[in-house]
Structure 1
Amino acid sequence: MSTEKQRQQGGIAETFRVAVQALIIALVIRTFLFQSFNIPSESMESTLLVGDYLFLSKYSYGYTHYSLPFSPPLFSGRIFGSEPKPGDVVVFRLPSDDSVDFIKRVIGLPGDRIQMIDGQLYINGTAVKRERVDDYVDRDEGPRPVRVKRWRETLPNGVSYDTLDRIERSEYDNTPVYAVPPGHFFAMGDNRDNSADSRVPPARGGVGYVPFENLIGQAKVIFFSIGNDAPAWQVWHWPSSVRWNRLFTGIH
C-alpha cells in the first residue's frame, strides 16, 4: 500500500475517532449536565417568552430514565434524587403523555394544600404575599401593545417572581383545595389565566399533579431569545428580532 493511501486511511480513521468522541461527550453533557429547551407557549410570561431558548440543569434533581436520550425505560424512580424547592422553574414530562415536555413553576410540595381564592394563591390556608407592580406590556398580541396587570408573589421560602392577571374573575381564580399527594408536586404557570397547569386535571387537557419521576431539570439561564415569530436559524432576522437584553440572563 502506498504511503499516500496509508495517510488518507489514517486521516479518515482519525476523523471518525474524533467524531465518535465528540458524540460521546455531547451525550454525557446532555444526559448528566445540561439540556437545551425552547419556550413554545405563553404560559410562563412574563418570566419566559415564546422564542426564549434555555439551558436546564439536569443534575439539580437527580436522574430518571427521562434523563436519557429517547427515554428508554431502563429503570424506575430517581438516582441521586433531590426535591425541587418552591419557586423553582422546572421542565417535566406531562403525566398524561410522557412524550411531551412542559415548563412551569413549582408551587406546592408533597403534603401541601394549594388553593386560589379571588385570584390570590393560598398555601396551607395562608395567603401568599403579593404586591402590585408595573403592568407588563405585551407587544406580541397584535399591532398595538397590550398592558397586562402584573403582581409580584413571594412564597413562604422567600422566592419572588412576577405573575400576570389577564382576565378578571377567570375560571381558575377560584378553585377547590388541591392536596398534593406524596411523591408529587403542584406546578403553575406565571401567566395565570393562560396556563393549563396543576389546577387543570389531565382529563380536561391540563397537567394535574406532577410525579417526582417526571422532572427533567431546572431552568437556569436564557442563552438565546428571538421574537417576531422568527425561527432562530434565520440569522438574517437577528438584528431586528433577537431580544438582545434577554441573552444570558438567569431564570428566577
Structure 2
Amino acid sequence: MASDSGKGNGFFETIKTVVYALLIAGIFRTLFFQPFWIPSGSMKDTLLIGDFLFVNKMAYGYSYASCPSVYLPAIGIDIDAEDICGFLDGDNTRILGGEPQRGDVVVFRHPVSGRDFIKRLIGLPGETVQVKGGVLFINGTPVQVEPAGNFEETAEPQGPQGMRPRCANGPVGDGGICIKERFTETLPNGVSHDILNIGTQGSDDTPVYTVPAGQYFFMGDNRDNSSDSRIPAITGGVGFVPYENIVGRADRIMFSSAGRSMLYFWTWRADRFFKGVH
C-alpha cells in the first residue's frame, strides 16, 4: 500500500510539472510566437473571422508589448502586458529591434485600450498618408489599384461573436450572397494585396496625416469596415501606433474555422490551413 508521504510527493511533483509547463509556455509566448484568433472582418479577404495564426515576435525584436496579455472576461481574468512588463514602457525602443516593412500584417497593442489589434502597415515615420475617393495616397502619390472581381460570402452570423458582414449589394437575408468589390492594391515597395470596398462613406476621403517619428500608420484591408489609423485612438479608432506597441508579424494561418467554435469540425476551412499571410 502506498504511504501518505508517497501520495504527497506525487501531488507536489504534479504541481511542479504544471508550473514548469506554464513557465515554458510563457517564455515561448513571450519570446517567439503568440497565438491570435481573428475576431472581426476588418482584414478580409486576407484574414477571415475564425482564422488562427501565430504572431512572429522575433521579426521586430522585443518591447513591453512582447509580454503576454490574458483577457478572459467570462471568468474575470484581465492580465495586461503592462501589468507584467510596464517598467519597460515609455521610451519607444525595442531590444534587438527590427524595422517593420510597409505591407506587413502586424499585431500591435492599441495605444489607448491596450487590446491587441491586427492591421496592415501602410505609412512609415515621416510620411504623409491620405485617402481620396477611396484611393490611398502615400507622400502625395496614389498607389496602384486594379479591379480583382468580387469577394463573396454567405450572409450569416460569423464567429463566436456572431458578427454579420456588411454587403455592397445592400442588406442581405440569412443564407444570401453578400458581395463586396475587390481590388488589388500595390504599395510603393511593390507589395500587392487585396482590399475590399462596400460603398461610399466618410473614411473614403480623409485629411492628410503626417506620421510622427517613431510611429506607424495602419489600415485594414476591408477598408469600409475597419477601425484603424484614419480615426484618432481617443475617438474610437487606432491613430498612430508607437514602435514599442508592436507585438509581431503575422506570417501564416495555422487553422481556420467558420463556426462559433473550433470544435465544430464541419465548419473548418481546410483550404486555409498553413496558408501564408500576404
Question: 1:18-29 alignment to 2 at 5 Å?
Answer: 18-29=17-28
* Cα distance in 2, alignment partners of residues 23 and 9 from structure 1: 21
TM-score (norm 2): 0.82
Q: Which position in structure 2 is the counterpart of 1:136?
A: 151
Q: Which position in structure 2 is the counterpart of 1:75?
A: 88
* Cα distance in 2, alignment partners of residues 65 and 47 from structure 1: 28
Displacement of 1:21 in angstroms is: 2.4
**Alignment equivalent of 1:202, drawn from 233, 247, 260:** 233
Q: CA RMSD in A?
A: 1.7
Instruction: Report the residue type matching 1:221 in the other structure.
Output: R
Question: Would you say 1:243 and 2:269 are equivalent positions?
Answer: yes
SS in 1 for 2:97: coil
After TM superposition, the runs of 4+ consecutive aligned structure 1 residues lying more than 6 A away are none
Q: Which position in structure 1 is the counterpart of 2:128?
A: 113
Q: Which position in structure 1 is the counterpart of 2:184?
A: 152
Question: Would you say 1:93 and 2:109 are equivalent positions?
Answer: yes
Could you give the per-residue CA deviations for residues 162-209 of structure 1, whole angstroms, max 9, x where no partner exists? 000111x32111111110000100000000011111011123311111
Instruction: Report the residue type matching 1:132 in the other structure.
Output: P
Q: Which position in structure 2 is the counterpart of 1:177?
A: 208
Gaps of 5+ in 1: none
Q: Which position in structure 2 is the counterpart of 1:221?
A: 252
Instruction: Report the residue type matching 2:153 in the other structure.
Output: D
SS in 1 for 2:102: coil
Q: What is the percentage of aligned positions where both structures have the same residue?
A: 46
Displacement of 1:15 in angstroms is: 2.9
* Cα distance in 2, alignment partners of residues 173 and 20 from structure 1: 51
Question: Would you say 1:187 and 2:213 are equivalent positions?
Answer: no
TM-score (norm 1): 0.91
Instruction: Report the residue type matching 1:249 in the other structure.
Output: K
Moved more, 14-23 or 46-55: 14-23
Could you give the per-residue CA deviations for residues 77-118 of structure 1, whole angstroms, max 9, x where no partner exists? 3211112100011111111212x1111100000011111111
Q: What is the aligned residue count?
A: 244
* Cα distance in 1, alignment partners of residues 22 and 140 from structure 2: 51
